[in-house]
Amino acid sequence: DNAWAQLERGDVGMSEFCLLFEAEALALGHRVDAGEVMAGLVGEVRPAMVEALRRCAERFKTACLTNNFLLERTVDLAADRPDIAEIYALFDLVIESSKVGVRKPDPRFYEMACEALSVAPHEVVYLDDLGINLKPARAMGMHTIKVTAPDVALEELSSVLGIPLA
């Protein structure tokens, strides 16, 4: 149960995470600045993926299952990251690990989504960029797509759903 898992479940705050993470790295022989690691996590919005989400949301139930963490300050998503707030608004359901105390790849995380949307796993297409997060979804009966390149993932998703996404 490492620092990262504790952070994403909401068991520890950012300050405690940084201390734990740096200690874990040091125990493995690496001196790491957790603050720098966290700063490097900011991703970019991919317009083609957002457009595909819009098209999917018009026809299907959609959910975002995210491993995230609580910040030690209050965040107004609409003001601080309007691009992300707009994307979250496209989903019927957003499940955040830090709020529910469970994180991917725990099967309970996927079960929460299925239950909340009243869908069976075999009715779900699940996309993720990490294979470890795809394994439990696939074991439950979901169709999984590994997102290594957005255009390739969208092509596969389009084929599975039978609708144009590009």
pTM: 0.83
- In one-letter notation, the amino acid at residue 44 is E
CB 9 within 8 A of CB 15: no
* pLDDT tens, residue by residue, 40-80: 777 788 999 999 999 999 999 999 999 988 776 666 666 67
Express as a percent the part of the chain with pLDDT over 90.
73
Q: How far apart (Å, rounded) are the C-alpha atoms in residues 154 and 45?
A: 15
The domains located in the chain, with CATH, are 3-39 (no CATH), 47-161 (3.40.50.1000)
Residues 121-137 have a mean pLDDT of: 97
pLDDT classification of 17: cutoffs 50, 70, 90: confident
Determine the pLDDT at residue 102: 95
